[in-house]
Amino acid sequence: MDSLNNHIREYTIQLSKGQIQKAYKGIMTFMSGLSTYLESMYPDYTASSLYFGYMDMTYFAFTPSDLKNKKLKIAIIYLHEQGKFEVWLGGSNRKIQAEYIKLLSGKNLGKYKLSQTLPGVDSIIESIVSEQPDFDHPDELKKHIERKTIEFVNDITSILNEKS
């Protein structure tokens, strides 16, 4: 039977090896550096604080003013269990998210898939940015994430600006 005590014992064993702390610190340092880098490159975007998460996801919002004015946000996410980066279009709250999912439900989203309005779903649209990120080359990884994020922002802006 899985008990909290068993989980904590395993957690303690894994922490005693030292790998988890090094990996987690590396991911947090990278994400913080990515946010700083993007803020310096795109001063007209608004960046949020880094959300560290519960070792499930770590993210920050990085949103151009035109989307922010629509109560939307762009989130750059690292999904710990899958070891990949994604970029999401999200709403400022669940109501806004549901409204945009409904609004976009009939539109051609090209290569993107609309999220479902379900408990635990925090996105309107999601896109994979890097399925196997190379943290040993952080500058190249930052530039790759930047390119994919800006492409996503431009695509989403075009989709939202299309006349129904």
pLDDT bucket at 2, cuts 50 / 70 / 90: confident
The pLDDT score that the predictor gives to residue 108 is 85
Q: What is the pLDDT of residues 57-74, one digit of tens each?
A: 999 999 999 999 999 999
What confidence score (pLDDT) does residue 152 get? 98
For residues 5 and 119, what is the distance between their CA atoms, to the nearest angstrom?
A: 29
Give the pLDDT confidence of 84-139 residue by residue, as tens digits: 999 999 999 999 999 999 999 988 898 998 988 766 668 999 999 999 999 999 99
pTM for the structure as a whole? 0.91
Range of the domain at 90: 4-161
Q: What is the mean pLDDT of the chain?
A: 93
pLDDT at 163 over 80: no
Residue 7: pLDDT band with limits 50, 70, 90: very high
Residue-level pLDDT at 106 = 83
| Percent of the chain's residues with pLDDT above 70 | 95
> Can you list the pairs that 132-139 forms with residues at least 24 positions away whose Cβ atoms lie under 8 Å?
132/83, 132/84, 133/78, 133/83, 133/84, 133/85, 135/26, 135/27, 135/30, 138/30, 138/33
| CB atoms closer than 10 angstroms to residue 70 | 15
* C-alpha span between 26 and 78 (Å, rounded): 12
What's the pLDDT at 118? 67
Question: How many folded domains does the chain comprise?
Answer: 1
pLDDT top residue among 135 and 161: 135
